[in-house]
C-alpha cells in the first residue's frame, strides 16, 4: 500500500525523485521513487538508512556489504538491485519495484491460496532462493511480508539481513535475527551457522502460511513461538495433504536433512527441469495463475502507481496552502485525510516539503502492557506538524484540546460531549496506562491505613502486568526460566500476601495466565487450564465464574469497563502472525453474553477500551466497535502499534490519531510516545541533548507545538497523574506541572528502592510496572520487589 510522503521527506535522493512511502524496517525507510524521465519501467524501491544509526562504524560496513551482496543476485524471482551509494552522507540503495501486495496482505485479505497456486508459488520462491544462494548469500528473513506478488509472479525482496557465506558475521552471536513465527532453529539460537538450509526452513513456514493462512509455529506470546521452533513442534494439521510432506521436510530440525532448492523445485513444479543453484529457471510467459481476488488486488497497486507517476512533481519550496479538503481519494483505501494527504502519496495542501528531513531516535520505556514481546520497543522521533484547519494557538489550561469526535458517518460527524468526572469510588488503575486520572493524587482515596512498604513476590519471577482496585493490587508474575506466569495479590495498605492463582500444585496451560484486568469486585484472567476466562473474587482469589471458551480458540485478553467484560480469543495465531480473533462481550453482573464477533486478521493482544469504544488492530487496519452491539463504529487503513492502555490518542503509520473515532488529528515521524494525557499532550523523547541531558517534550497533539520540556533519563517510566507529569527511575521520582512543566517536587534515594552494593544498577533500578493511586505509587522491579511510596 502506498503511503503519503512525510511532510519533511526530501524531494529527491541521489538521482531519484520520491513519489510515495512504502514502509520502514530495522535499517531505515523505503520509498517509491523514479529517475528523471523514466516511466513505470524505471520505478524503484529506494531504501535509506536512519540517521540515528552509526554510519561510520560497523553499520556502514553492513550497508555497504548489503549493497555489494545484492548486486550479485539476479533472476526473475528476486527484486534486483538497480543502484546504490553506500558512501553517501545518507547511504541508500534502489531495487526494482514490483507493483503488488505482499503474500501476507494477499492472504490476509483473500484467504489461503489454492494448492496448485501454492505449488507454483513455492517453486518460484525456491528459484529465487537458488539465485540468492548461488551468489553465496543467505536471505535470513524470508517471511510472507518479504514475498511480493506481481502480475507475472512472486519476487523475493529485502536482503536487509542477508549475510555472505565468505564474510565475517556482522550479527553478534546470541542476537536473534529474523521475524518471529518464520524463523529456523538456527535463527532462534542466534548462532552463526545460518546457511541456505535455514532459508529452506523459512520457506516451509511461508508455504504453510500460504496454504492455511497461519504459520506453523503461531502462538500468543513470543516465548512460546521460540520454544515451539526450538523443540520442532510445528502445527501442520491444516496443511492440505498434497503439500504436508513437502512442508514437513522443509521444517526438519536437522539442516542437513532439509531438501535443497533444486529438490524443492522438482517436488513442487512437476513440469520443471532440475535447476542448478544460482541458475534459476526462466519464468513461464504471461500472467501468473493468481486467484481472482489476488489479481484484483495487484490491479489496485498498478492503478495507484500509475496515479503517482502521472501526478505533477512537487516544487522544492513550500507551496501556498490550499483550502483543507482539496486532496483526492488515496489509493488502496488510504484516505486523503481531510486534505492533509493527497492521493498520489505527496503531502496535501498546506503541508510544505523541506529539502532535508529531521531525523532523531528514541526508545520507549518498558511499561508493562501485557501485549507481547513484539510490542515492547520502537524508534521514537519528535517532528510534529501543524495541519490545515488545526488551531494554531498553543494549548493553555483554558484552551485544552477538544474531546475526541465521532467517526465519519456517525451522527453527522458531531463531537462527543465533554467527559464527566469519574465517580469517587474505589480507585482502579492498571499498568500500561499513562494517565491515571484527575483523582490519582487525592490522598483521601488511599487504601485504608496505607503506609509506605516494600516486599518481594513469593517464588521466582518479576511482575510484567499489575492492576489495583481499592485495597488490593494484583500482579501477573513471569518466571523467565519456566516461561510460566501466575497471579499474586497483595494488600495495597501494607503489602501482605492475600492470594495466588492458580493454587500451588495446580497444572497450568503452556502459557500460564494472561489478559489481567480488575474492577471493584473481581479480577479477570485467562483460566489456568487454558479454557476460557476465570472470574476471581478480588478479596480471596476464589473463582466465582467461568467465561467459557470456544473450540479452536485460545483466550488472550480481558478488559472490563462500564459494567461490561470484553474478552478476545485467538484462532490458531498469535505474535508471529495475525489471526482470526473471536471477540465477546458479557454483562459484568450476571455474566450473560451480550454479543460475539469473529474478526479475521486482528492481532490477538490488541483488545483495548477507549471511552465508549472497543479498540482493536490488525495487520491491515484498525477498528473501533460499539461496546453495546459489537458493530464497527470507525475503521482506518492503518496498523497501530498501540502501547499505552486506554490512551485517547495513538500514532498510526506516522499519523496522530484520535483513538476513539480513528480520525487523524496530527502528523508525526514518531513511533508511540512515552505517555499521553487525556487532554491531548504527547510526551516524547526530545532530539539530542539540552543543557547536557536528555529530555521529554510535551507536544500539543492539535497544533504540533512543543509546550515545554523536562529533563529525563532514557528508560525511566513516564506517567500522568492528576495535574502532574511523573518520572520514575534510579531511586528518584520527579514531578512537573502538567500545564507548563514547572518542577514541583523531586524525591531522591527513596527508601526500599532496589540497589546493588548500595548503588542503583542501571535498568535494574527502573520499574517494570507503575501504578499511581491515592497520592501513592506502586512499583515492581526485575528482582521481584514490589513497593510503594508517596508521590503527593
pLDDT in tens, 480-535: 777 778 999 999 999 999 999 998 767 666 557 888 999 999 999 999 888 899 99
Last residue of a domain, one of 245, 268, 299: 299
pLDDT at 271: 62
The residue ranking higher by pLDDT, 459 or 164, is: 459
Please determine, for residue 356, whether its predicted confidence score (pLDDT) is greater than 80: no
In a domain? residue 544: yes
In a domain? residue 417: no
In a domain? residue 324: no
Residue 203, phi-psi category: left (phi > 0), alpha (psi -120 to 50), beta (remainder):
alpha
Domain that holds residue 74: 54-299
Average pLDDT, the chain: 76
Cell numbers at residue 322, please?
490550499
Q: Could you read off the pLDDT of 223-233 as tens digits, one per residue?
A: 778 888 988 88
* DSSP symbol at 678: T
Please determine, for residue 140, whether its predicted confidence score (pLDDT) is greater than 60: yes
Which of 730, 726, 728 has its CA nearest to residue 792?
Answer: 726
pLDDT at 434: 81
> pTM score, two decimals?
0.52
Please determine, for residue 639, whether its predicted confidence score (pLDDT) is greater than 50: yes
Cell numbers at residue 782, please?
526485575
Q: Could you read off the pLDDT of 289-334 as tens digits, one per residue?
A: 999 889 988 988 888 888 878 765 554 443 333 333 333 323 223 3
In a domain? residue 773: yes
pLDDT confidence tier of residue 620, bands split at 50, 70 and 90: low
Lowest mean pLDDT among 9-18, 61-70, 428-437: 61-70
Bind-site residues for ATP: 47
pLDDT at 351: 30
Instruction: Count how many residues are written for the chain.
Output: 792
In a domain? residue 39: no
Bind-site residues: 47
What is the radius of gyration, based on Cα positions, of the chain? 26
pLDDT at 403: 36
Give the helix/strand (H/E) hosting 429.
strand 428-430
pLDDT at 419: 43
| Measured torsion, CA atoms of residues 677, 792, 786, 375, in degrees rounded to the nearest 10 | 10
In a domain? residue 309: no
The residue ranking higher by pLDDT, 559 or 448, is: 559
For the ranges 170-174, 223-227, 269-273, the one whose mean pLDDT is highest:
223-227
- Contacts with 446 (C-beta within 8 Å, 6 or more apart), sequence order: 773, 774, 775, 776
Which of 733, 750, 737, 705 has its CA nearest to residue 791?
Answer: 733
- The number of helix segments (H) and strand segments (E) in the chain equals 9, 43
> Do 438 and 290 have their domain in common?
no
d(CA 261, CA 270): 14
CATH number reported for the structural domain that contains residue 563 in this entry: 2.140.10.10
Query: H helices of 232-361, where?
Result: 241-250, 261-268, 292-310
Lowest mean pLDDT among 83-87, 294-298, 314-318, 718-722: 314-318
Cell numbers at residue 57, please?
562504524
Could you give the C-alpha distances from 203 to 106, 127, 147, 397, in angstroms and in order?
Answer: 17, 11, 10, 57
In a domain? residue 635: yes
d(CA 619, CA 617): 7
DSSP 715-739: T-EEEEETTEEEEEETTEEEEEETT
Number of domains in the chain: 2
One of 141, 269, 608, 739 is an active-site residue; which one? 141
Beta bridge partners, 583, equal 568, 597
Please determine, for residue 760, whether its predicted confidence score (pLDDT) is greater than 90: no
Respond yes or no on whether the N-terminal peptide bond of residue 755 is cis (omega within 30° of 0): no
Q: Could you read off the pLDDT of 538-591 as tens digits, one per residue?
A: 999 999 999 998 877 888 899 999 999 999 988 754 433 445 688 999 999 999
pLDDT at 207: 97
Active site residue 58: no
The residue ranking higher by pLDDT, 261 or 161, is: 261
* DSSP symbol at 373: G
Q: In a 3-state reduction of DSSP, which class is residue 454?
A: strand
Last residue of a domain, one of 299, 320, 347: 299
Which of 331, 341, 336, 345 has its CA nearest to residue 302?
Answer: 331
In a domain? residue 708: yes
- State the average pLDDT over residues 28-40: 84
Q: Could you read off the pLDDT of 749-758 as tens digits, one per residue?
A: 888 898 877 7
| Measured torsion, CA atoms of residues 437, 443, 444, 445, in degrees rounded to the nearest 10 | 50
d(CA 167, CA 206): 27
Cell numbers at residue 20, please?
510515495
pLDDT at 420: 44
Last residue of a domain, one of 299, 325, 357: 299
CB 672 within 8 A of CB 718: no
Amino acid at each position: 500500500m502506498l503511503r503519503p510522503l512525510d511532510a519533511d521527506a526530501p524531494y529527491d535522493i541521489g538521482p531519484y525523485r520520491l513519489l510515495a512511502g512504502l514502509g520502514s524496517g530495522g535499517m531505515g525507510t523505503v520509498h517509491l521513487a523514479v529517475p528523471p524521465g523514466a516511466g513505470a519501467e524505471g520505478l524503484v524501491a529506494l531504501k535509506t538508512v536512519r540517521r540515528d544509526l552509526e554510519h561510520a562504524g560497523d553499520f556502514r560496513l553492513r550497508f555497504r556489504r548489503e549493497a555489494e551482496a545484492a548486486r550479485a543476485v539476479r533472476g526473475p524471482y528476486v527484486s534486483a538491485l538497480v543502484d546504490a551509494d553506500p558512501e553517501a552522507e545518507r547511504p541508500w540503495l534502489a531495487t526494482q519495484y514490483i507493483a503488488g501486495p505482499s503474500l501476507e496482505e494477499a492472504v490476509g485479505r483473500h484467504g489461503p491460496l489454492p494448492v496448485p497456486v501454492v505449488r507454483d508459488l513455492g517453486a518460484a520462491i525456491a528459484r529465487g532462493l537458488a539465485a540468492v544462494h548461488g551468489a553465496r548469500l543467505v536471505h535470513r528473513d524470508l517471511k510472507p511480508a518479504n514475498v511480493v506478488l506481481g502480475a507475472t509472479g512472486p519476487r523475493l525482496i529485502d536482503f536487509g539481513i542477508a549475510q555472505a557465506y565468505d564474510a565475517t558475521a556482522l550479527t553478534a552471536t546470541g542476537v536473534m535475527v529474523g521475524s518471529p513465527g518464520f524463523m529456523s532453529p538456527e535463527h532462534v539460537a542466534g548462532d552463526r551457522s545460518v546457511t541456505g538450509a535455514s532459508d529452506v526452513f523459512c520457506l516451509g513456514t511461508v508455504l504453510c502460511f500460504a496454504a492455511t493462512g497461519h504459520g506453523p509455529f503461531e502462538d500468543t506470546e513470543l516465548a512460546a513461538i521460540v520454544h515451539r521452533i526450538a523443540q520442532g513442534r510445528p502445527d501442520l494439521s491444516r496443511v492440505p495433504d498434497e503439500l504436508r510432506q513437502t512442508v514437513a521436510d522443509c521444517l526438519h530440525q536437522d539442516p542437513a536433512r532439509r531438501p535443497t532448492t533444486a529438490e524443492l523445485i522438482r517436488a513442487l513444479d512437476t513440469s520443471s527441469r532440475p535447476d542448478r543453484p544460482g541458475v534459476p529457471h526462466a519464468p513461464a510467459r504471461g500472467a501468473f495463475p493468481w486467484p481472482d481476488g489476488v489479481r484484483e488486488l495487484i490491479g489496485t497497486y498498478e492503478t495507484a502507481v500509475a496515479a503517482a507517476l502521472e501526478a505533477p512533481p512537487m516544487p522544492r519550496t513550500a507551496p501556498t496552502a490550499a483550502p483543507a479538503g482539496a486532496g483526492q481519494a488515496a489509493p488502496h483505501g488510504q484516505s486523503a485525510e481531510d486534505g492533509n494527504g493527497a492521493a498520489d502519496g505527496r503531502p496535501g495542501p498546506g503541508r510544505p516539503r523541506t529539502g532535508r528531513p529531521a531525523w532523531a531516535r528514541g526508545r520507549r520505556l518498558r511499561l508493562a502492557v501485557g501485549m507481547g514481546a513484539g510490542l515492547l520497543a520502537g524508534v521514537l522521533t519528535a517532528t510534529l506538524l501543524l495541519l490545515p484547519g488545526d488551531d494554531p494557538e498553543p494549548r493553555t489550561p483554558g484552551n485544552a484540546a477538544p474531546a475526541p469526535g465521532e467517526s465519519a458517518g456517525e451522527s453527522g460527524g458531531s463531537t462527543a460531549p465533554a467527559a464527566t468526572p469519574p465517580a469517587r469510588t474505589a480507585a482502579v488503575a492498571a499498568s500500561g496506562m499513562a494517565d491515571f486520572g484527575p483523582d490519582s493524587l487525592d490522598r483521601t482515596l488511599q487504601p485504608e491505613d496505607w503506609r509506605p512498604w516494600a516486599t518481594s513476590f513469593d517464588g521466582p519471577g518479576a511482575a510484567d502486568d499489575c492492576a489495583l482496585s481499592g485495597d488490593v493490587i494484583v500482579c501477573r508474575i513471569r518466571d523467565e526460566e519456566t516461561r510460566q506466569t501466575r497471579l499474586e495479590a497483595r494488600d495495597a495498605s501494607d503489602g501482605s500476601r492475600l492470594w495466588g492463582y492458580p493454587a500451588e500444585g495446580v497444572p497450568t496451560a503452556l502459557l500460564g495466565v494472561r489478559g489481567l484486568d480488575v474492577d471493584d469486585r473481581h479480577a479477570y484472567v485467562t483460566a489456568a487450564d487454558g479454557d476460557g476466562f476465570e472470574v476471581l473474587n478480588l478479596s480471596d482469589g476464589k473463582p466465582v465464574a467461568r467465561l467459557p471458551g470456544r473450540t479452536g480458540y485460545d483466550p488472550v485478553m480481558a478488559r472490563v469497563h462500564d459494567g461490561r467484560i470484553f474478552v478476545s480469543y485467538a484462532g490458531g495465531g498469535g505474535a508471529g502472525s495475525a489471526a482470526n480473533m473471536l471477540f465477546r462481550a458479557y454483562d459484568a453482573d450476571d455474566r450473560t453474553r451480550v454479543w460475539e464477533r469473529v474478526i479475521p486478521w486482528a492481532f490477538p493482544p490488541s483488545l483495548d477500551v477507549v471511552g465508549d469504544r472497543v479498540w482493536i488492530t490488525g495487520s491491515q487496519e484498525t477498528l473501533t466497535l460499539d461496546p453495546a452491539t459489537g458493530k464497527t463504529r470507525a475503521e482506518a487503513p492503518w496498523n497501530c502499534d498501540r502501547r499505552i492502555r486506554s490512551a485517547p490518542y495513538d500514532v498510526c503509520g506516522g499519523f496522530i490519531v484520535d483513538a476513539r473515532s480513528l480520525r487523524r488529528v496530527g502528523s508525526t515521524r514518531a513511533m508511540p510516545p512515552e505517555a499521553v494525557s487525556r487532554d491531548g499532550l504527547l510526551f516524547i523523547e526530545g532530539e539530542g541533548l539540552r543543557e547536557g541531558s536528555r529530555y521529554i517534550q510535551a507536544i500539543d497533539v492539535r497544533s504540533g507545538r512543543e509546550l515545554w520540556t523536562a529533563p529525563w533519563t532514557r528508560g525511566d517510566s513516564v506517567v500522568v497523574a492528576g495535574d502532574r507529569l511523573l518520572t520514575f527511575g534510579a531511586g528518584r521520582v520527579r514531578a512537573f506541572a502538567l500545564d507548563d512543566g514547572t518542577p514541583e517536587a523531586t524525591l531522591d534515594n527513596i527508601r526500599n528502592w532496589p540497589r546493588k552494593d548500595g548503588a542503583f544498577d542501571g535498568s535494574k533500578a527502573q520499574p517494570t510496572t507503575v501504578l499511581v493511586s491515592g497520592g501513592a505509587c506502586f512499583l515492581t522491579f526485575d528482582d521481584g520487589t514490589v513497593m510503594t511510596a508517596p508521590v503527593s
